[in-house]
């Protein structure tokens, strides 16, 4: 679980967006004061769960008096019809928190489910599935957590945690030697350097110069990836990226690369169908 301190501002902002400026007009109009109810957050399809922590937080921020029990935690598989959470207490409070809780839980469970599908394709290989920075603005901490709930791994969180030299950096700086030498001179002992290459020739040059801890093999076909693994001979970590679809993951993993990164885990995940039933 992530510290609530990190998550509360995100959840609070979503509730403010939904309840501003005058609260829930429908609930005020039709739900009698003091009415209590027991609600169930149910899965309407199979998947992998994520977002229970933030869904529970949404309900508690609306009403700390609600009694919430998480029955299927983040990172666990779920089946269609299974109850993931129960919420007991004020019916009005439950209804006010419902949509925000479901928006978070459905979105994050969709990412976890998609990631789990990618991970399953790597069984029997050393390849690890990792996400990218292609996340929903403001929700990165949640979406990256959802990737781990699906069995994947996180790439760098943002621009400050690692030096990732892409082709536009190389072009602007004047070449691979220039960027690697500059990066080696600038980094601290705790900072890793990753270099993106588009061709085997670039990779060979990078290996001769040295300094990269990771080489990102961008948009290479499967035969090029195999050749890159052979050329590398275990010297640096290899990451395959670009056009990494579910249908292709197994053959990429079989090439021997260490990591496979995919922006689709977050930017193209379908929301898992969840519902709140009274």
- Written as one string, the DSSP assignment of 51-89 is -HHHHHHHHHHH-TT-EEEESS-TT-EE-TT-EEEEEEE
What residue has token string 């399809």?
Answer: 45
Count of C-beta atoms within a 10 Å radius of residue 65 = 10
Could you list the pLDDT tens digit for every one of the 278 residues in the chain?
899 999 999 999 999 999 999 999 999 999 999 999 999 999 999 999 999 999 999 999 999 999 999 999 999 999 999 999 999 999 999 999 999 999 999 999 999 999 999 999 999 999 999 999 999 999 999 999 999 999 999 999 999 999 999 999 999 999 999 999 999 999 999 999 999 999 999 999 999 999 999 999 999 999 999 999 999 999 999 999 998 999 999 999 999 999 999 999 999 999 999 999 99
pTM of the predicted protein model: 0.96
| Residue carrying structure tokens 């601290």 | 188
Question: Where in the sequence numbering do the catalytic residues fall?
Answer: 99, 134, 166, 196, 218
CB 258 within 8 A of CB 128: yes
Residues whose CB is less than 8 angstroms from the CB of residue 30 and which lie 6 or more positions away in sequence, other chains included: none
């Amino acid at each position: 679980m992530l510290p609530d301190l990190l998550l509360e501002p995100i959840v609070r902002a979503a509730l403010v967006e939904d309840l501003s400026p005058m609260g829930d007009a429908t609930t005020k109009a039709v739900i009698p004061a003091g009415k209590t109810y027991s609600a169930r957050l149910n899965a309407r399809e199979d998947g992998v769960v994520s977002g229970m922590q933030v869904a529970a937080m949404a309900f508690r921020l609306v009403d700390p008096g609600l009694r919430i029990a998480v029955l299927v935690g983040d990172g666990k598989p779920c089946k269609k019809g299974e109850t993931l959470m129960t919420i007991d207490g004020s019916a009005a409070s439950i209804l006010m928190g419902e949509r925000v809780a479901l928006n978070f839980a459905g979105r994050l469970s969709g990412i976890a489910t998609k990631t789990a599908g990618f991970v399953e394709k790597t069984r029997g290989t050393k390849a690890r599935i990792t996400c990218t920075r292609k996340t929903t603005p403001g929700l990165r901490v949640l979406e990256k957590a959802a990737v781990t709930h699906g069995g994947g791994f996180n790439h760098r969180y943002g621009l400050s945690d690692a030096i990732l030299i892409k082709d536009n950096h190389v072009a602007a700086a004047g070449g691979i030697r220039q960027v690697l030498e500059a990066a080696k001179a600038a980094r601290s002992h705790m900072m890793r350097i990753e270099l993106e290459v588009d061709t085997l020739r670039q990779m060979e040059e990078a290996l001769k110069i040295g300094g990269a801890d990771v080489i990102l093999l961008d948009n290479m076909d499967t035969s090029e990836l195999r050749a890159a693994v052979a050329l590398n001979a275990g010297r640096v970590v290899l990451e395959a990226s670009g056009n990494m679809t579910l249908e292709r993951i197994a053959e990429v993993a079989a090439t021997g690369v260490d990591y496979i990164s995919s922006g689709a885990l977050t930017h193209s995940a379908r929301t898992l169908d969840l519902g709140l039933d009274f």
